[in-house]
């Protein structure tokens, strides 16, 4: 991606696994994004209101509140905030709650689908 396109775009990574958060942060920073992180739903919702990210990547399987429930709350407070579900499980793709996400990516070592989708969604937004 061109550096100008991602200038000042802020992405919130929500994942309970620290290593995944850090890996995603590194990958997305390499693309020129600002990256902030949250390890659970409560922290994510607080950050959304305080930091106003441009896009959220959201894990589903997390201790306490799961990602689909957090997604519902995000839609209540920030109706149009783009959210990409980033889960190790493809099975939730057909869960009706997942349709409120902009896109669903199954976690893998190849981040190209996620990066392409982020770029595409943010380009529509701008």
Partner 1 sequence: MLDSDLRSISPEWIELLLAPVLMKDFGFVTPYYCRHKYDGTITNMIAYPLTWVLYGRRVRQPIGGDFGFSLAFVKSLLEKDVWETDIARFGIDIWMTTVAICEKFKICQSFLGAKIHDDKDPGKDLSPMFVQVVGTIFSLMEIYHENWLRVKGSRPTAIFGFESEFAPNPIDVDQGNMIRKFQEGLLRYQHIWEKVLEKENFRKIQEVAKMEVSHFELPVELWVKSLYDFSIAYKNRNGGFSSAEIIEALVPIYYAKTASFVNRTQSLDTSQAEEAIRKQCGVFESLKPYLVEAWTSQG
What is the Cα gyration radius of the chain?
13
Contacts of 99 (CB under 8 A, 6+ apart): none
Cβ distance to partner 1 smaller for residue 109 or 124: 124
Residues that bind partner 1 (CB under 8 A): 72, 75-76, 79-80, 82, 93-97, 99-102, 120-121, 123-124
Contacts of 50 (CB under 8 A, 6+ apart): none
- 111 DSSP 8-state letter: -
Q: Which tokens is 93 given?
A: 């793709």
Cβ distance to partner 1 smaller for residue 13 or 74: 74
Q: Minimum CB separation from partner 1 for residue 73, in Å?
A: 10
Say what angle helices 112-125 and 18-30 make with each other, to 10 degrees.
60
Q: Minimum CB separation from partner 1 for residue 28, in Å?
A: 20
Cβ distance to partner 1 smaller for residue 24 or 101: 101
Cβ distance to partner 1 smaller for residue 43 or 99: 99
Q: How far apart are the first and last CA of the chain?
A: 15
Q: Minimum CB separation from partner 1 for residue 26, in Å?
A: 27
Q: Minimum CB separation from partner 1 for residue 14, in Å?
A: 17
């Amino acid at each position: 991606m061109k550096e100008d396109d991602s200038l000042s775009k802020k992405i919130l990574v929500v994942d309970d696994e620290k290593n995944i958060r850090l890996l995603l942060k590194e990958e997305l920073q390499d693309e020129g994004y600002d990256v902030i992180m949250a390890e659970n739903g409560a922290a994510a919702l607080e950050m959304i209101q305080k930091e106003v990210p441009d896009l959220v990547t959201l894990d589903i399987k997390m201790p306490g509140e799961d990602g689909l429930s957090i997604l519902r709350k995000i839609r209540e407070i920030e109706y149009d905030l783009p959210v990409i579900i980033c889960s190790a499980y493809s099975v939730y793709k057909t869960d009706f709650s997942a349709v409120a996400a902009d896109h669903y990516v199954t976690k893998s070592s190849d981040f190209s689908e996620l990066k392409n989708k982020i770029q595409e969604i943010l380009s529509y937004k701008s």
